[in-house]
Amino acid sequence: MKQSNGFPMVHCPQMEQNYSCGNRTGENVFQKAAYIPVFTVGLFFNVLAIYIFLRGRSGWTDTHVYTFSLALANSVLLLFLPIRTYDSFHRLDCTPFCKLLISIHYLNMYVSIFTRAAISIHRCVAVNFPIYKRSRGPQKRVAFVVCVLIWVGAIGLNVAFHEDYSVEKFISCYERKWERLPAGHLELLLVVGFFIPLCVITVCTIQTIVSLHKSGKVSKKTGMTGIMTVNLVVFVICYSPIHVGFLLKFYIGKCTCPTYLFYQVSEWMATTNCCWDPVGYYFLLKKFFTSKCHLHGQS
């Protein structure tokens, strides 16, 4: 593959043979600048959240277990994000290490997606079946088991499809060639990894808020409604564009400069969940510290 100034040339068949979308100045500047604020803001708030969660783990509920798993997934991605920034300045060679970097991106995305779906189901069940809420111990164990299964499932999917991300199919360390994925792979990503969780989160969020309004408790449950609303908004904003990008890149397979740039931006948007999630942490931790202060006041 031809290169210019160290950057691989991504050829668009609809354009002149020597024209490269990947070499455009705007795209290079975006790659160099976009991930730096995500890293700095995201790492600070997610590590801070993990620290606070661990300090107060004696008072954890099942929601804390899910949210801790979310913060952990975000932190794993963020720790490797400086490598992506470095790659935008000095392109890394395509080695097996690149497969690990790509796998971490997918791991963060789908652990985050499935955890959001689990949080939505859990909150919906807690509101509509209050008797379930009374047994905190079993709930925490169920939440822990669900989180472990989510991590195992996401890692298992990465392992199962590792051949689709062999080094020979890479344009650069962070980019796969513009070609169709094998049958079943893309469908699994879109249906199981996006559409089903989107439906679950949307239905559970609406049902929970409606139930709270009917019971007149919505003003007392601002933390719960806040977490669920943030869950839905972040899901739609961060993960809708990247799955549209998957369709453009791995199903339609036509490389044009607009689709190439759209895919690059949508990849970045998927990583910004690390910056939006702390808004949900705020609602949870606010409720947590309010209850702690209330208990201390009573004592």
Q: Is residue 280 part of a domain?
A: yes
Q: What is the mean pLDDT of residues 89-103?
A: 86
At 34-60, the pLDDT tens digits run: 899 999 999 999 999 898 888 877 778
Q: Where residue 76 sits, what CATH number does that domain have?
A: 1.20.1070.10
At 115-148, the pLDDT tens digits run: 999 989 988 888 877 666 555 567 888 899 999 9
List the alpha helices (DSSP H) in the chain: 25-55, 62-89, 96-128, 130-133, 136-160, 185-187, 196-215, 222-246, 257-271, 273-298
pLDDT for the residue 255: 74
Q: Is residue 241 part of a domain?
A: yes
Count Cα atoms within 13 angstroms, Cβ side, for 123: 35
At 192-237, the pLDDT tens digits run: 999 999 999 999 999 888 888 777 665 556 667 777 888 898 899 9
C-alpha gyration radius of the chain: 21
Q: Is residue 299 part of a domain?
A: no
* Res 11 pLDDT > 50: no
Task: Give burial (CB, 10 Å; 0-12/13-18/19+) of 202.
Answer: middle
* Res 24 pLDDT > 80: no
User: What percent of the chain is modeled with pLDDT above 90?
Assistant: 31
Q: What is the mean pLDDT of residues 261-275?
A: 91
Q: Is residue 10 part of a domain?
A: no
Q: Is residue 226 part of a domain?
A: yes
Q: What is the mean pLDDT of residues 286-295?
A: 52
Q: Is residue 39 part of a domain?
A: yes
Q: Is the CB of residue 216 less than 8 Å from the CB of residue 269?
A: no
Q: Is residue 278 part of a domain?
A: yes
pLDDT for the residue 222: 63
pLDDT for the residue 191: 93
User: What percent of the chain is modeled with pLDDT above 70?
Assistant: 79
pLDDT for the residue 257: 80
Q: What is the mean pLDDT of residues 12-24?
A: 43
pLDDT for the residue 194: 94
How many folded domains does the chain comprise?
A: 1
Let me know the angle formed at the C-alpha of 52 by 148 and 268, rounded to the nearest 5 degrees. 65
Least confident of 95-99, 138-142, 230-234, 290-294: 290-294
Q: Is residue 6 part of a domain?
A: no
pLDDT band at 78 (very low <50, low <70, confident <90, very high): very high
pLDDT for the residue 288: 57
Q: What is the pTM of this model?
A: 0.83
Q: Which of 103, 54, 35, 29 is nearest to 274 (CA)?
A: 35
Range of the domain at 131: 15-292
